[in-house]
Amino acid sequence: MLRLSKKMLFAIEAVLDIAYHSGSAPVQSREITRRQGIPRRYLEQALQNLVRKGILIGVRGPRGGYRLARERRRISIADIVQVVRGMEANSYKIEEAPGSALGHKVVRPLWLELQGDLMERLDSMTVDDLCDRAEIAGIVSEGRQNLDFTI
Rounded-to-integer distance, Cα 49 and Cα 36, Å: 19
Domain boundaries, the chain: 6-145
76 has which bridge partners?
Answer: 126
pTM of the shown model: 0.84
Nearby residues of 29 by Cβ (< 8 Å), 6 or more positions away: 40, 43, 44, 47, 65, 66
- Confidence label for 147 from pLDDT (cuts 50, 70 and 90): very low
Structurally, at CATH architecture level, domain 6-145 sits in Orthogonal Bundle (1.10)
76 versus 5: the higher-pLDDT residue is 76
Reported as a single tens digit per residue, the pLDDT across 95-119 is 566 778 998 899 889 988 999 999 9
Rounded-to-integer distance, Cα 16 and Cα 115, Å: 22
